[in-house]
Structure 1
Amino acid sequence: MSYKSIVVQLDTSERAHSRLKYAVQFAKQFNAHLSGVFSTFSPDPRSFYVMAGSAEYFESHRTFRQERHDALERIFLAEILREGISGQWVDRNEYASDAIPRYARYADLVIAGQDDPNDPESFIADHFPETLVLSAGRPVLFIPYVGVFPTLGENVMVAWNGSREATRAVHDALPLLQRANRTTIVMLNDPKDESRGSRIPGADIALMLARHGIKAEVAELDGIDDVPLGDVLLSRASQLNVDLVVMGAYGHSRWQELIMGGATRSMLESMTVPVLMSH
């Protein structure tokens, strides 16, 4: 099993170039075809023209975005030529939450960015990361908007609770886990609404990985009932000094997590290392 087709989500944000760098690295590593799908949030020009002076602002902003678009396209084409990988640049003027998931469904791996509250250009659609991981049907590797990661996938933490979503994430991450130097399976508390018999113990998933040539350590997390799970995962990722977290996304309903909070939401908002999510 390998990743032979990779899609990277690109926009006019400050971190788009960095995200492209990781995508090119992965495409070369797995000898994969790389599609750079460019999409941004574009407000309706008519909403600007009704306000005095806003027409000039809209035109200057459009020029600024076009310059960033053209520069990123040149970098993309130069990088795939320099690294000798196959690829294509794709411009999409439609709503990003429609365009990106549609291209993602034809890929083995999707690389996307985390929303950056300090960079308006990182916003391309409401709840875009959540929509992408729920609708793409493919694993999504989110790159944080802060930090530089000299390695990515050498020291991996798997968040494991035996759920369908966690199972999907582990299998989707197999090409990365097979190349990792260290893999740690962090056992999470069983949800109270599911019987223990419906979930696979950590030793069993470690045995499955061993059959794929992956040696994984198993670490239990006990006594964390009063601590938000997302905080626990972030803390353990820091303790283990990992450069990638693998986890299932939205074991509960999306709206339950949006309203009440949850591990998926916490990681999407506060990730400190790249996170591969599957639903």
Structure 2
Amino acid sequence: MAYKTILAVLDTPQNATQITDFGIALAEQFSAHLVGVHAETLAAVPLIAPMEIPDPAAVQVLQEVAQKETAEVERIFRERTAKEGLSTECRSFISSAGYGSVSVMETVRSSDLIVASQSDPAHADHRADLETFLFESGRPMLLVPYTMKTPQPIRRVLVAWNGSREATRATFDSLPFLKAAEAVEILLIDPPERNDQTPELAGTEIAATLARHGVKVTLTTQETSGGLPAAAAIENRLADNSIDLLVMGGYGHSRWWEMLFGGVTRSLLDSMTALTLLSR
């Protein structure tokens, strides 16, 4: 298994260079085809009273702004990917649904891996609907911290394991990274005691399975004290072990209720220090 089609989410000119460079590094590592995607969401058009017809001047301005940004993102992508032997293409979409449009989702679902940037609080124009990508695409998503500007080799990986469907999906979706890594640690935090298994044996089966794939894996079971949140325990482990990639399930409520990540996932994404691969 390898990533052969990598999709780079180029939602703004501010992060287009960063995500293109990370996409290039991954495309070169896995000999993959790199697709840059940019989607513009058409803003609400002011209406002219009393007939409430669209204001032609406002429509023209909105279209020009969208076209200008799309052209800038495409320019950045094409200039950065102008390397001999690199297979790339750039796709742009303009619709009222933006990144949630059917056309964008069809492209996303045909990729092996999505690469996107963590939201930068300094830029309010981060528009890619990453929650929709995670919930609806069925594809793993690699999030890059907005502070991480230069791709680095992924040597040490931490897998946050709790035996859930989401954690299982993320673990197997990350196999290309796990097999290439120098060290992979499976971390269990406060595993429950079951009738058929003690906490000490939790995670041994997934560790054995990964080892059969040639993954250099170790297993760590950690019991928190003083009510330390799971997110904080994972963050401490990331810092202590100089982790390059965190692998975890994307947990959240149904999209029919609210499009928000669950507590542990959201806490980690707000303060992420390492590349993070999420799957649902």
Alpha carbons 2:10, 2:16 under 8 Å: kept: yes
Instruction: Check conservation: 1:166, 1:247, Cα contact below 8 A.
Output: yes
Q: Where do 1:1-150 residues align within 5 Å?
A: 1-46=1-46, 66-94=67-95, 95=97, 96-98=99-101, 99-124=103-128, 128-150=129-151
TM-score, normalisation: structure 1: 0.83
Provide closer, same or farther for how the CA distance between residues 48 and 92 of structure 1 changes in structure 2, counting only shifts above 3 A: farther
Identity in percent: 35
Give the Cα–Cα distance (whole angstroms) in 1 for the partners of residues 259 and 264 of structure 2.
8
Q: String of CA shifts for 1:194-246, please: whole Å, max 9, x gaps.
A: 9876x983222111111111111111120257222222222211111111100
CA-CA distance at 1:131 after TM superposition: 1.8
- Partners of 1:167 and 1:257 lie apart in 2 by 22
Give the secondary-structure state (helix, strand or coil) at the position aligned to 1:268: helix
CA distance in 2, matches of 1:175, 1:57: 48
User: Which residue identity lines up with residue 143 of structure 2 in the other structure?
Assistant: F
- The structure having more radius of gyration, on CA atoms, is 2
Distance 2:238 2:112 in 1: 25
Distance 1:191 1:63 in 2: 57
Partner of 1:247: 248
Aligned residue in 1 for 2:53: none
Q: Shift of residue 266 of structure 1?
A: 1.4
Query: In the TM superposition, what is the alpha-carbon distance from 1:191 to its structure 2 partner?
Result: 6.5
- Count residues with an aligned counterpart: 271
Aligned to 1:157: 158
SS of the residue 1:166 aligns to: helix
Residues 66 and 48 (structure 1), Cα distance of their counterparts in 2 relative to 1, 3 Å cut: farther
1:72-111 CA distance string (max 9 Å, x none): 3123223333142212111111221235433221111111
The separation in 2 between residues aligned to 1:195 and 1:59, in whole angstroms, is: 67
Q: Higher helix share goes to which structure? A: 1
Q: Distance in 2 between matches of 1:57 and 1:145?
A: 33
Q: Which amino acid aligns with 2:235?
A: L
Partners of 1:73 and 1:147 lie apart in 2 by 22
Structure 2 CA distance, aligned partners of 1:224 and 1:131?
35
Change (3 A) 1:238 1:61: farther
Tell me the residue number matched to 1:52. none
Aligned AA for 2:32?
A
Residue identity matched to 1:113: S
- C-alpha displacement at 1:32, in angstroms? 0.9
**22 and 213 in structure 1: CA distance in 2 versus 1, 3 angstrom threshold:** same
CA distance in 1, matches of 2:70, 2:111: 23
The 1:214/1:113 distance shift into structure 2, 3 A limit, reads: same
Structure 1 gap segments, 5+ residues each: 50-54
Query: SS of 1:186's equivalent?
Result: strand
Cα contact 1:36–1:89 (8 A) shared by 2: yes
**The residue matched to 2:274 in structure 1 has which SS?**
coil
The AA in structure 2 aligned to 1:105 is: R
TM-score by length of 2: 0.83
3-state DSSP of counterpart to 1:115: coil
Contact 2:191-2:221 at 8 Å conserved across structures: no
Counterparts of 1:108 and 1:73 in 2: how far apart (Å)? Answer: 22
- Cα RMSD after superposing both structures: 3.2
CA spacing shift, 1:256–1:131, aligned 2, 3 Å: closer
Residues 57/220 of structure 1: CA separation in 2 closer, same or farther (3 Å cut): farther
- CA 1:120 to 1:268, structure 2 compared with 1: closer, same or farther past 3 Å? same
Per-residue CA shift, 1:145-195, capped at 9, x if unaligned?
Answer: 223354142211111111111111111000111111121111123369x98
